[in-house]
Amino acid sequence: MSNTWVLVANSVEAKLYSTDELGAEMSRLREFGHPESREKGSALASDKPGKVQSGRGGHGMGDTSAPKDFEAERFAKELAQALDDGRATNAYQHLVLVAAPHFHGLLNSQLDKKTHAMVITNINKDFTSCNERDLQTHLKESA
């Protein structure tokens, strides 16, 4: 039997499970939360963008990435680090990533190459609100 980790995530929360087979019984290993991703953009930004005076008018200088995107990326890095640590300690042999489409891309971009090579299934859906029984069904259908 091989141990498979299943990460179910969106930009606000994630659950990490362990299973021997997709669709079989899973045990929850850990839950992650990132409430900052729920905040309004104005609450995350520390200050208004500066202004630059040029010629007759001025224009605002702002960060090209929204604060919510920054927080989602921070959460993706945190999750990727947990997955990298698990791989480095041989805690799992296979990895399944289940995430909301945009967040899935962020998560994939943060995984190290060795961890990325352990991914056997990618599911671009947000199943974070599913109970474990429904999640098992979705995984079995996707496998």
Confidence at residue 44, expressed as pLDDT on a 0 to 100 scale: 42
pTM, 2 dp? 0.78
Helix (H) or strand (E) holding 133: helix 132-142
Confidence at residue 72, expressed as pLDDT on a 0 to 100 scale: 87
Higher model confidence: residue 80 or residue 23? Answer: 80
Confidence at residue 39, expressed as pLDDT on a 0 to 100 scale: 54
Confidence at residue 22, expressed as pLDDT on a 0 to 100 scale: 85
Confidence at residue 10, expressed as pLDDT on a 0 to 100 scale: 94
State yes or no: pLDDT of 140 exceeds 80: yes
CB-based contacts of 98: which residues, under 8 Å, 6+ apart? 6, 7, 8, 9, 123, 125, 127, 135, 138, 139
Confidence at residue 45, expressed as pLDDT on a 0 to 100 scale: 47
Confidence at residue 43, expressed as pLDDT on a 0 to 100 scale: 46
Confidence at residue 23, expressed as pLDDT on a 0 to 100 scale: 82
State yes or no: pLDDT of 54 exceeds 90: no
